[in-house]
Chains A and B, each alone.
Chain A
């Protein structure tokens, strides 16, 4: 009786401590959220006191003067086409890796695995884009994003593909389906859950990336959302309320995606890691 009570108390205590520790995560987020709704002098205090007056117009100012509509368009375009290309080529490739017996598929697979570890070579990638006349273009950035993320997508899709019974393919083959039809009509619908997970995680990493757009998109009219905050550093060095509002707008789509699909995000990211 007494023992049970003590154990319960112990648990409640741990729970309270964990909520206090969670403030370490929540407080920086509150600085941004509250800061984005403050006046400039008030935001410069960088504290977590709620705004005295709620300046929702900060967001309108940021959207108008920071070119955020344009940046959102750029981000959506780059994210969408990168992911479309990655999924398209990775589904076909992982189907073969998962199914073919022999040395070919294991060599390809291992090359992709190394691609997950190796750092990209920024300078020669720049040279390549220059030579191909793709420097500073959406297509260039989409191809670079695709190349860096394909290994990861192949890895995720291959491990899932191996759980789909081969009998499916044989039935399709007997019905006269060619390999391409087999992948896209028979296999792809069975991959829905893992494709959804892959899309969510890829969208987050492409949307959030700084280095690739920074290196390979030299004109600010093509900048993606995360880079727009630099508009406010040049012009309004002290206006942290605008900086924070810009950060909220940049983070919002990804945070919403995370909160909606968190089970898939966490399962996908950890599965990808653990099976490696």
Chain B
């Protein structure tokens, strides 16, 4: 066994480890350390140790708390909707429909677009004079019209809509791959036993789709917590701080040059992602054989 490894020397892994180590792991490690320092843009090379001050500061900062809350809301809403819509699309587009390949192509297409495209289209849709308000007027709900992006209570949800629109087709594709791995024998025998379509879905499809659900939930939650692009493009975190999420708030703090504090925020996001993704992984994998 050992002798065989001679054919496969470790040094071939070094270039990948070097690039990844220096430009990804090193900044992560440095952020853990520098979040305990008074570090800013003017004293880039002379940070000063201040213990937990940065963390005390950010937890006393109402905008940081708001950003953290918004990030969580964004991740939960978008994950839930991506799973729901993706599952519905997958179940229908797994049937023998004539246009199903073209339909799959269309529903997946937004996943290939840049957030700049998706974000700006939805910005135009949610403008005061945009399509959404026109639609509301068209169905006699003109009273509900508002400047959706300029309104603090709705801005974040507009970014959620763009995110859901972009990724539901991707979620669908993973569910379709999952559905195709379920043997049709199960459905045959269920039909012989007289099970309805709904019973078949609940008793056969959902349990056997658990691995795909688990993967989708994990990807969606991690993606949601890492949100930057959609919020940056559509609201810039505004109006005021109403739709600020962690990454856009870090960007803002970065612009102000308070690097130690911004690193502490980055570290909090890092920890949150690891905790939440391992919880979701454990919950959704339970019962997967």
**B288 CB-CB contact with A under 8 Å:** no
Interface residues of A in 216-234 (CB under 8 A from B): 226-227, 229
A18 CA to B228 CA, complexed, in Å: 31
**B50 CB-CB contact with A under 8 Å:** no
Q: Are A31 and B19 in contact (CB under 8 A)?
A: no
Query: Which of B116, B122, B247 has the most chain A CB atoms closer than 10 A to its own CB?
Result: B116
Q: Are A274 and B174 in contact (CB under 8 A)?
A: yes
What count of chain A residues pass the 8 Å CB interface test?
97
Q: Are A250 and B97 in contact (CB under 8 A)?
A: no
Interface class of chain B by DSSP? helix
Q: Are B173 and A270 in contact (CB under 8 A)?
A: yes
Q: Provide the residues of chain A in CB contact with B73, threshold 8 Å.
A: none
Query: Contact residues of A with B, CB < 8 Å?
Result: 11, 14-15, 18-19, 22, 24-29, 31-32, 35, 44-48, 85, 88-90, 92-93, 95-97, 99-102, 104, 108, 111-112, 115, 117-128, 130-131, 143-144, 146-148, 150-151, 154, 169-170, 173, 179-180, 182-183, 204, 207-211, 214-215, 226-227, 229, 240, 243, 247, 250-251, 254-255, 257-259, 262, 265-266, 269-271, 273-274, 276
Q: Can you name 19 extra interface pairs (CB under 8 A) apart from A18-B97, A154-B16?
A: A11-B96, A15-B98, A19-B103, A24-B165, A29-B121, A46-B125, A48-B131, A96-B10, A121-B266, A126-B259, A127-B27, A128-B27, A148-B24, A208-B114, A208-B115, A251-B113, A265-B112, A270-B173, A274-B212
Query: Contact residues of B with A, CB < 8 Å?
Result: 1, 4-5, 7-10, 12-13, 15-17, 19-20, 22-28, 30-31, 34, 44-45, 92-93, 95-99, 103-118, 120-122, 124-125, 127, 129-131, 134, 165, 169-170, 173-174, 176-178, 211-212, 215-216, 218-219, 222, 225-226, 228-229, 232-233, 247, 250-251, 254, 259, 262-263, 266-267, 269-270, 273-274, 277
- Can you name 13 A-B pairs with beta carbons within 8 Å? A24-B165, A31-B125, A44-B129, A118-B28, A119-B226, A121-B27, A154-B16, A179-B7, A204-B112, A208-B114, A226-B116, A226-B117, A247-B116
